[in-house]
């Protein structure tokens, strides 16, 4: 079955990979640029921002319950009245129509409403928690962009190495065939080179697919095309292999518990749940309001048709709950259960944070050791290729040994590049889990790229 059009185009481009990767494209996208694009375009991040903006409106809404409420009401009615009077001559009926009207301007100022106070404090906690959730999404986005960016670079490197390996194996196959035709080679060398060449063609299709998927993943975050050949490469000479600062894992845990926005948001969720308990418990307490009213009425009843009244009043209004069928006690128990849930969610989040920090801390520390080990392995693999070629010339090695040595060299090159990307991404994820990942950290890692000055 022919390869999909996208893959065919990728394979056509792969023929130019070595030159394209060695010569950075002008205006190539870097990590910082991708991050800024994601802040403007990532759908999940924009959802989080909209949620935060909506949540902030809870505060003015709750504040309204503590402020004066001014209202106006008015009415004008046409009335039809039938009256019956008992007289000495018997009942006498009469009918008449009249208009009545009333206008009322009322000011109500809550003086003692525990539910309203608890509602306001709950809103403060909810808004603070929502803002922290938004900050968590921002830091998660930064780490996600970095991972997606480095995945594209890793897939690009893999494709480049496969193309180099394809070129080498093609040369080996052609050389083995030529030597066999001259009677100086062996069928085994030719067939082995051909088999490996055929296998690398399949690997190239897989590598091209991996590049395509990585590009699309990054593009889904930035909402812009992210061709692999336009991304600034990682310059290992600019990337320091440094242990986390602070070096102690326990200090990272302390930083995370103090600064992680998700954990802080869960603490505010506990505060909001406590205020919910107070709000429901306030159903047992009376309420007291200050009332000021100015009213005008005319012909309110048949007995005062034609009379007009203007009245001003100022007073206190108290409402005392006596019995509500047990609903107040029920909602209070429900709120207490919600408080316990919030506390347990915080504890679960605290424990998960410790695991996340340990994983990323280990990734950074072990990543340094892995990169250094693979750098040494790369030097050894390169020397092994040279020694094997010399062995072939001396008659102590054969072409199969050369193929194996070159294959090992390509594998180490791939693993080393991937280890460097993993180390860079792990540093950002460690700070993201600790809650301290900022733009300066993104700029630092961006400085490790081969960005044109």
**What CA–CA distance (Å, rounded) separates 246 from 350?**
20
What backbone phi and psi angles, to 5 degrees, belong to 365? -65, -50
Judge whether residue 209 has pLDDT over 70.
yes
Assess whether pLDDT exceeds 80 at residue 350.
yes
Task: Give domain 5-69+114-286+329-446's CATH superfamily.
Answer: Outer membrane efflux proteins (OEP) (1.20.1600.10)
DSSP 437: -
SS3 237: coil
Contact 221, 437 (CB under 8 A): no
For 346-363, what is the mean pLDDT? 97
Q: Where are the beta strands (DSSP E) in 388-444?
A: none
Residue 186 has a pLDDT of 80
pLDDT of residue 63: 96
Residues 436 and 255: beta-carbon distance below 8 Å: yes
Pull the structure tokens for residue 383.
Answer: 């020397």
Q: Tell whether the model's pLDDT for residue 2 goes beyond 70.
A: no
The percentage of the chain sitting over the pLDDT mark of 90, rounded to a whole number, equals: 73
pLDDT band at 118 (very low <50, low <70, confident <90, very high): very high
Angle at 374 between CA 368 and CA 375, to 5 degrees: 90
In this structure, the number of other CB atoms found within 10 A of the CB of residue 247 comes to 10
Categorize the per-residue pLDDT at 451 as very low, low, confident or very high, splitting at 50, 70 and 90: low
pLDDT in tens, 149-167: 999 999 999 999 999 999 9
Phi-psi region of 294 (alpha: psi -120 to 50; beta: other; left: phi over 0): beta
**What ranges do the domains of the chain cover?**
5-69+114-286+329-446
Render pLDDT for 131-142 as a digit per residue (tens, 0 to 9): 999 999 999 999
Residue 225 backbone phi and psi in degrees, to 5: -60, 145
Asked if 446 and 380 touch (Cβ cutoff 8 Å), the reply is: no
d(CA 389, CA 171): 15
Token pair belonging to 14? 């792969």
Per-residue pLDDT at 13 exceeds 50 = no
Of 179-193, 353-367, 392-406, which range is least confident? 179-193
- Provide the pLDDT confidence category of residue 90 given band limits of 50, 70 and 90: confident
Q: Which residues contact 45 (CB under 8 A, 6 or more apart)?
A: 38, 39, 137, 138, 141
Interatomic CA distance for residues 381 and 235, integer angstroms:
21
Percent of the chain with pLDDT over 70: 93
Under 8 Å between Cβ of 291 and 316:
yes
Distances (CA, A) of 217 to 11, 60, 136, 226, 390: 19, 40, 21, 9, 45
User: What would the pLDDT profile of 120-129 be if each residue is shown by its tens digit?
Assistant: 999 999 999 9
Strands (E), 225-335: 287-298, 308-319
Report, in angstroms and rounded to the nearest whole number, the Rg of the chain calculated over CA atoms.
Answer: 38
At 411, is the pLDDT very low, low, confident or very high (cuts 50, 70, 90)? Answer: very high
* 411 vs 184: CA distance, rounded Å: 31
Instruction: Please say if the pLDDT value at position 453 is more than 60.
Output: no
- Cα separation, 328 vs 114, whole angstroms: 14
Lowest mean pLDDT among 25-39, 192-206, 226-240, 269-283: 25-39
């Amino acid at each position: 079955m022919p390869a999909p059009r996208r893959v065919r185009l990728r394979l056509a481009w792969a023929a130019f990979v070595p030159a394209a990767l060695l010569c950075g494209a002008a205006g190539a996208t870097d990590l910082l640029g991708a991050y800024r694009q994601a802040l403007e375009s990532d759908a999940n991040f924009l959802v989080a921002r909209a949620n935060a903006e909506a949540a902030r409106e809870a505060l003015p809404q709750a504040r309204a319950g503590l402020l004066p409420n001014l209202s106006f009401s008015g009415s004008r009615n046409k009335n039809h009245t039938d009256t019956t009077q008992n007289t000495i001559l018997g009942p006498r009926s009469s009918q008449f129509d009249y208009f009545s009207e009333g206008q009322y301007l009322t000011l109500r100022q809550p003086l003692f409403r525990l539910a309203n106070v608890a509602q306001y404090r709950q809103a403060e906690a909810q808004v603070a928690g929502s803002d922290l959730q938004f900050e968590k999404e921002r830091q998660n986005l930064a780490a996600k962009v970095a991972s997606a960016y480095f995945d594209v670079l890793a897939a690009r490197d893999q494709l480049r190495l496969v193309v180099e390996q394809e070129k080498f194996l093609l040369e080996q196959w052609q050389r083995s065939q030529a030597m066999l035709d001259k009677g100086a080679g062996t069928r085994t060398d030719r067939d082995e080179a051909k088999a490996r060449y055929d296998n690398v063609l399949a690997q190239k299709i897989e590598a091209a697919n991996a590049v395509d998927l990585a590009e699309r993943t990054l593009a889904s975050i930035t909402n812009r095309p992210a061709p692999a050949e336009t991304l600034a490469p990682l310059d290992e000479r600019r990337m320091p292999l440094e242990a986390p600062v602070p070096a102690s894992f326990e200090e990272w845990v302390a930083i995370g518990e103090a600064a992680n926005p998700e954990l802080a948001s869960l603490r505010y969720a506990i505060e909001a749940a406590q205020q919910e308990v107070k709000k429901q418990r306030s159903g047992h307490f009376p309420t007291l309001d200050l009332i000021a009213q100015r009213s005008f009425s005319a012909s309110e009843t048949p007995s005062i048709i034609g009379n007009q009244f203007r009245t001003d009043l100022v007073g206190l209004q108290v409402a005392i709950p006596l019995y509500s069928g047990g609903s107040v006690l029920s909602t209070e128990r429900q709120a207490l259960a919600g408080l316990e849930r919030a506390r347990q969610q915080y504890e679960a989040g605290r424990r998960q944070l410790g695991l996340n920090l340990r994983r990323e801390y280990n990734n950074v520390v072990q990543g340094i050791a892995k990169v250094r080990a693979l750098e040494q392995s790369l030097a050894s693999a390169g020397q092994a290729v040279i020694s094997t070629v010399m062995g072939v010339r001396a008659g102590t090695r054969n072409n199969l040994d050369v193929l194996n040595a070159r294959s090992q060299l390509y594998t180490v090159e791939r693993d080393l590049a991937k280890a460097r990307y993993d180390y860079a991404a792990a540093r950002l994820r460690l700070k993201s889990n600790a809650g301290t990942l900022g733009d300066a950290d993104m700029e630092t890692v961006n400085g490790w790229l081969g960005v044109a000055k």
